[in-house]
Amino acid sequence: MTQQKSAKMQERVQVLYWLKTNQANSVGHLAALVGRHPTTVSRWLSKYRRGGLKALLTIESSPGRPATIPPFAIALLKEELSDPEGFSSYGEILSISGFMANVEPLSGESFFWEFCHNE
Predicted pLDDT of residue 107: 47
* pLDDT band per the 50, 70, 90 thresholds, residue 114: low
Whole-number average pLDDT of the chain: 78
Q: Rg of the Cα trace of the chain?
A: 25
List pLDDT tens digits, range 18-63. Answer: 999 999 989 999 999 999 999 999 999 999 999 999 999 888 887 8
Mean pLDDT for 96-116 is: 55
Q: Between 74 and 113, whose confidence is greater?
A: 74
Report d(CA 48, CA 11) in Å as an integer: 13
**pLDDT, position 19:** 92
| Residues 22 and 31 sit within 8 Å (Cβ to Cβ) | no
Taking the alpha carbons at both ends of the chain, their separation in whole angstroms is 60
pTM above 0.75, yes or no: no
CB 93 within 8 A of CB 54: no
Domain boundaries, the chain: 7-56, 71-114
